[in-house]
Chain A
Amino acid sequence: MHLSGPGGNHDVRYFMQTFGQSNRNNPPRPLAGSPLQPLLLMQSPVVTERLRAERDSRVERLLASYPNDNGRVVDELFLASLSRPASVAEKDVALAALAKNRIEGAQNLQWALINQVEFFFNY
């Protein structure tokens, strides 16, 4: 049996199917939420691999472009992920995380932004 859809390894396909990618055979179905969606967003390699500061990811590029300006890194991450700037309170939280450990903080921040309900809801 054949499923049409983008290629990619089974991790990607599993991820996409959980978020409602249709298999051309399916009867039309509503995008039903389930705990599997946040489960995948939180720990699937599809997400966790992309937010590491490696292999020319956004996190890596930002850290490299603004080595002295964490504020700018935070802003760019917010804009890129949520299409809005960070609020003052959010910025404080984010900067504290980067201050503790720059690379991990940035990775964790990107993770947290992807896992915001806002991200899922809007995208």
Chain B
Amino acid sequence: METKTVADVTRSRRDVLKLGGLGLLAASADAVWPLHMRATSSKAQPRSSARNVVFYEISGAVSHVESFDFKENPGTPRDLDVRTVSSDLSLSHLLFPRLEKHLNRIALLRSMLSHEEVHFRGQYYTQTGRQLNLAFAREIPSVGSVIAMELEARRREDDTFPTYMSFNLDKAFPGALSTGFLPPRFSVVDINPESAVKGMALDQKAVELLEERWRLLSELRKAEQARVSGYGRQMAGYGDFYETAHRLLTDERWPAAFQISEEDRKRYGNTPVGVSCILTRNVLAQDAGTHYIHICHPGWDHHVKIWDRGAESNHYVLCSEFDPAFSSLLEDLAATRSKTDPAKTLLDETLVIAIGEFGRTPGALNNMAGRDHYNRCYPALFAGSGVKGGRVLGRTDSAAAKCLETGWNHKEQPRTENVVATIYSALGIDWAKEIRNTPSGRPYVYVDPLGANGYIPTDDITTIYG
């Protein structure tokens, strides 16, 4: 049994600041440290092929039959200008003109299966890699927080950025999930793209003002030092969060990451998801400690008027947000050299995944001219480090209603658990583990073989690599 030792826990103050502060005791009442980890019976072989992972959540579920697994269905509109891009794949040129050019980078898996058909549960499942169980929900961390915990040991002296960042995640149905039983320092820093650019991009004057105010604050604190110092770890812990935040705001790389040019906005689209992708590129380019970014692109849930151009929100609109944002992100990551290893581009070091929580009903449109939820097969896109692009994995029938080939080396279809395993594997995290000393006593398994309706393989999806 691998236990973190006392030495791991008694850190110097420097280390605490490096790791982001302790947080309020009230918030960490459930926080468990040191963790008692134990290997599970399944085997895992992490690939360690990526330094970063970008998880682009197509939140609300895109209609797979008209997008990434194009199959002409009775409800499919006729104006999509569908082109055959490979022997096995068609893609609408109207909807995805730019993505079309990047298919050579993308491994497209068509055979995902979800347990869930409801947004809240599906998006919870996407963020945590397991089914929602209300009895334990309070203590379950999001996958990003687990990653932040696992990658903590790799943080360098001058890493100030949070390991786990997200954009627009508060718009997801369950919101940005907490760290559960893990300490609060592994929390996501969720950025609202509209507000962030205004607030975080501090110019010189703002930085000076901040410094002046910080000095005043420090002097006031010193004046009260004697009275406050006895109040205990909790308040001191929160003070550490302040130190971390201050270091972040005054680290010139942070406001630099929030600078956006007009040209960027045009290329990515001046939409929340476009701005989120620009910021993702900027944050990864700064290489200051962030390794897992979750972008949430909400709004795809078109039960009503999915292909009606007159409707305020419809799939035409959402695809026109997705295409420039995602394509520009791939282009720019491929064009930017890594700071740590200039021989590689950011795309070489980053695994990019785009996936929703399920698909939408194939066939004819429903009685409101929309499509409803469909979990039996839906697609996922993979690009970046090690991924062998230009391939389509898995096969569905002519309506994209049933999965015919699973696209990997198991007869069960791959699920979100396997995508999570793929993420862990890429980052070099051994996922065949469980944490035993949770508050409830129930072990937290990194990738749970007990799926909703039977045992599932807990392997990563290696067919994306060739």
Tell yes or no: A37 within 8 A of B by CB.
yes
Report which of A89, A108, A115 forms a contact with B212, defined as CB distance below 8 A: A108
A1 touches B23 (CB 8 A): no
Residues of A contacting B179 in the complex (Cβ-Cβ under 8 angstroms): 32
A44 touches B241 (CB 8 A): no
Please, how many residues of chain A have a CB less than 8 angstroms from a CB on the other chain? 45
* CB neighbors of B among A2-54 (8 A): 10-11, 14, 17-18, 23, 25-40, 42-45
Report which of A10, A27, A32 forms a contact with B174, defined as CB distance below 8 A: A27
A31-B26 contact, Cβ under 8 Å, with A18-B190, A25-B120, A38-B241? yes
Report which of B23, B175, B217, B246 forms a contact with A112, defined as CB distance below 8 A: B217
* CB neighbors of A among B167-205 (8 A): 170-171, 173-175, 177-179, 184-185, 187-190, 192, 194-195, 198-200, 202
* CB neighbors of A among B5-43 (8 A): 20-21, 23-24, 26-30
Tell yes or no: A123 within 8 A of B by CB.
no
Residues of B contacting A31 in the complex (Cβ-Cβ under 8 angstroms): 24, 26-27
* CB neighbors of B among A35-93 (8 A): 35-40, 42-45, 87, 89-90, 92-93
B132 touches A115 (CB 8 A): no
A30 touches B138 (CB 8 A): yes
A87-B227 contact, Cβ under 8 Å, with A31-B27, A34-B241, A43-B210? yes
Tell yes or no: B162 within 8 A of A by CB.
yes
Tell yes or no: B134 within 8 A of A by CB.
yes
A43 touches B199 (CB 8 A): yes
- Partner-contacting stretch, out of B82-90, B218-226, B352-360, B366-374: B218-226
- Give, as a whole number of angstroms, the nearest-CB distance from A10 to chain B: 5
Residue of B nearest to A28 (CB): B138
Tell yes or no: B235 within 8 A of A by CB.
yes
Tell yes or no: B311 within 8 A of A by CB.
no
Residues of B contacting A44 in the complex (Cβ-Cβ under 8 angstroms): 195, 199
Residues of A contacting B21 in the complex (Cβ-Cβ under 8 angstroms): 33, 35
- Give, as a whole number of angstroms, the nearest-CB distance from A100 to chain B: 10
* CB neighbors of B among A81-111 (8 A): 87, 89-90, 92-94, 97, 108-109, 111
Residues of A contacting B400 in the complex (Cβ-Cβ under 8 angstroms): none
Residue of B nearest to A107 (CB): B213
Q: Mark B142-180, 1 if CB is under 8 A from A, else 0.
A: 000000000000000000001000000011011101110
- Give, as a whole number of angstroms, the nearest-CB distance from A18 to chain B: 7
Which of A28, A35, A90 has the most chain B CB atoms inside 10 A of its CB? A35
B241 touches A33 (CB 8 A): yes
CA distance A83 to B20 in the complex (A): 29
A11 touches B175 (CB 8 A): no
CA distance A21 to B221 in the complex (A): 29
CA distance A26 to B188 in the complex (A): 16
A45 touches B23 (CB 8 A): no
Which of A27, A97, A109 has the most chain B CB atoms inside 10 A of its CB? A27
Report which of B217, B248, B301 forms a contact with A35, defined as CB distance below 8 A: B248
B245 touches A112 (CB 8 A): no
- Give, as a whole number of angstroms, the nearest-CB distance from A34 to chain B: 4
B224 touches A32 (CB 8 A): no
- Give, as a whole number of angstroms, the nearest-CB distance from A21 to chain B: 10
Tell yes or no: B239 within 8 A of A by CB.
yes
Tell yes or no: B238 within 8 A of A by CB.
yes
B138 touches A115 (CB 8 A): no
A34 touches B249 (CB 8 A): no
Residues of A contacting B337 in the complex (Cβ-Cβ under 8 angstroms): none
Tell yes or no: B94 within 8 A of A by CB.
no
A35 touches B162 (CB 8 A): yes
A111 touches B241 (CB 8 A): no
CA distance A23 to B237 in the complex (A): 27
CA distance A45 to B200 in the complex (A): 10
- Can you give 14 contacting A-B residue pairs, CB < 8 Å? A1-B171, A23-B170, A29-B137, A31-B27, A32-B178, A32-B184, A34-B162, A34-B185, A35-B162, A36-B187, A42-B210, A42-B245, A45-B195, A115-B242
Known contacts A32-B179, A33-B23, A97-B216; 9 further A-B pairs (Cβ under 8 A): A34-B23, A34-B188, A43-B202, A89-B223, A93-B220, A111-B216, A116-B217, A117-B235, A120-B238
A interface residues, Cβ below 8 angstroms from B: 1, 10-11, 14, 17-18, 23, 25-40, 42-45, 87, 89-90, 92-94, 97, 108-109, 111-113, 115-118, 120-121
Please list the 10 inter-chain residue pairs (A to B) with the smallest Cβ-Cβ separation, ordered nearest first: A34-B187, A33-B23, A89-B223, A38-B245, A27-B137, A112-B217, A14-B192, A32-B178, A33-B184, A39-B245
B interface residues, Cβ below 8 angstroms from A: 20-21, 23-24, 26-30, 60, 119-120, 124, 132, 134, 137-138, 162, 170-171, 173-175, 177-179, 184-185, 187-190, 192, 194-195, 198-200, 202, 206, 210, 212-213, 216-217, 219-221, 223-224, 227-228, 234-235, 237-239, 241-242, 244-246, 248-249, 298, 301
